[in-house]
Amino acid sequence: MPKIVVIGESGQLAQSLRALHWPSGFTLALHGRRSLKGNLEADLLRDVLRTEGAHLVVNAAAYTAVDHAESEPQAASALNARLPQTLAAACAELDLPLVHSSTDYVFDGQKGAPYVETDAPNPLSVYGQTKLQGERAIEQAGALRRWAILRASWVVSEVGDTFPVKLLRRARAGEALRVVNDQWGCPTVASDLARAIQEVALRQLDGEGAACGLFHFCGASDMSWYGFAERVLAAAKKTGLKPPPLQAITTAELNAPARRPLYSVLSCARIRQSLGLSAVAIESDLDRMVRSILAR
């Protein structure tokens, strides 16, 4: 009975993986802070994978608080760099495939055109730097025969403290809605990313070489955060919510601790051509997501 071990049990990606329909006979085992008790050492992780009888590992764990990472670089490095390195070593020793989720923030946003997998990374923040270190640890784990890294952009869902959740919380409270209009990316529904990871994992278990390597996977629509906020609030208005006016601001006006790429649109041509996988436009799931958030 094939078993997929997912590291990162409480995050939106892990929860989306749990919610998927898996082929008959497959089981998922999610591990995170509770079961690992903060211990990310190689011996413990190898023991967990052996005890579970893992056939493949998905790393969905990450330190994603981009601004907090600037003042907590060691915490960000532990999850974003050291954990992937340790998992890669454990998977290499046990000859298990590893699928890892990464980010568009490994780029500096200066290209002005969609980024492809061969573009040189140049992260601007501690978050982006540590995520890149995690990628390279996997790529350079010479004994790891089967691995895949999926870089995604602006992953959102109704789980956790994602952009739509925070925006609607402020809108419902009547707070000022100020959103940057000069950062562009591709919002990606977490369940859509989970389905892509599932497909990559299943193909790796089938021994398909095309499912190995570095891929970009993100939503089909590119927009600014302000444009995304407009869409979220338009969906919210359908439910009867009357939000305050939305104000566009610049990144400079936001004055956030971490620098972000102003343009981090990803080209998904490789994963589409190699595996036939394409993400949907964020609009296709937005009404459902907004209703779910507002119902809480």
Q: Which are the catalytic amino acids? A: 127
- Token pair 């903060």: residue: 38
3-class secondary-structure state, position 106: helix
**Chain mean position to CA 295:** 25
182 vs 249: CA distance, rounded Å = 8
265 exposure class (CB count in 10 Å sphere: 0-12, 13-18, 19+) = buried
> What single DSSP character describes residue 224?
E
The alpha-helical segments, DSSP class H, found in the chain are 12-19, 33-36, 42-52, 73-77, 83-94, 126-139, 163-172, 190-205, 225-237, 251-254, 269-275, 283-294
Give the closest residue to 26 by CA, choosing from 175, 201, 146: 201
At a CB cut-off of 8 Å and minimum separation 6, what does 258 contact? 66, 67, 69, 70, 124, 125, 126, 127
3-class secondary-structure state, position 16: helix
- Six-digit token string for 73: 């670089």
CA distances from 173 to 2, 135, 286 (A): 47, 40, 21
